[in-house]
Amino acid sequence: MNLLPSRSTLFASVLVISPLCLAEGEPTDGSVIKDSTKAAVSSFITAGKNLLGGVSEGVLDGRESVQGTDGAAIISSGEQMKDRIAVEVLKLEPSDENFTITLGFKNSTDTQLRLINLGQTGALLAIDQAGYANKLTGMENPDEVTVPPKTAVRQKFVFEGMNEAINTVRVWGADYPVKK
- The 8 Å CB, 24+ separation contacts for 3-10 are none
What pLDDT is recorded for position 19? Answer: 54
Distance CA 146, CA 152 (A): 10
For residue 59, give every residue at least 6 positions away whose Cβ sits within 8 Å of its Cβ, in sequence order, or none: none
Residue 123 shares a structural domain with residue 172: yes
Please name the helix (run of DSSP H) or strand (run of DSSP E) that holds residue 58, with its range, or none: helix 31-65
Residue 44 shares a structural domain with residue 84: no
Total domains in the chain come to: 2
Residue 107 shares a structural domain with residue 89: yes
> Letter for the amino acid at 97?
E
What pLDDT is recorded for position 7? Answer: 56
Residue 42 shares a structural domain with residue 98: no
Residue 85 shares a structural domain with residue 154: yes
Per-residue pLDDT of the chain (180 residues; tens, 9 = 90+): 555 556 555 555 555 565 555 555 555 566 877 777 777 777 767 767 666 666 545 544 554 445 456 789 999 999 999 999 999 999 999 887 889 999 999 999 999 999 999 988 889 999 999 999 999 997 889 999 999 999 999 999 999 977 788 999 999 999 999 987
Residue 39 shares a structural domain with residue 88: no
pTM for the predicted model, two decimal places: 0.64
- Residue range 132-156, pLDDT digits in tens: 999 999 788 999 999 999 999 999 9
Distance CA 117, CA 115 (A): 7
Residue 172 shares a structural domain with residue 154: yes
Domain's final residue, options 65, 88, 107: 65
Q: Which domain holds residue 101?
A: 73-177
- Residue range 158-167, pLDDT digits in tens: 999 777 889 9
CATH number of the domain that 101 lies in?
A: 2.60.40.1240
Residue 105 shares a structural domain with residue 16: no
Residue 63 burial class via C-beta count within 10 angstroms: exposed 0-12, middle 13-18, buried 19 and up? middle
Residue 12 shares a structural domain with residue 84: no
Instruction: Tell me whether residue 1 is in a domain.
Output: no
Please name the helix (run of DSSP H) or strand (run of DSSP E) that holds residue 145, with its range, or none: strand 145-147
Dihedral (Cα; 151, 63, 133, 78), 10-degree rounding: -60
Residue 114 shares a structural domain with residue 52: no
Residue 78 shares a structural domain with residue 145: yes
Task: Taking each helix axis as running N to C, give the angle between helix 31-65 and helix 7-22, from 0 to 180 degrees, rounded to the nearest 10.
Answer: 140
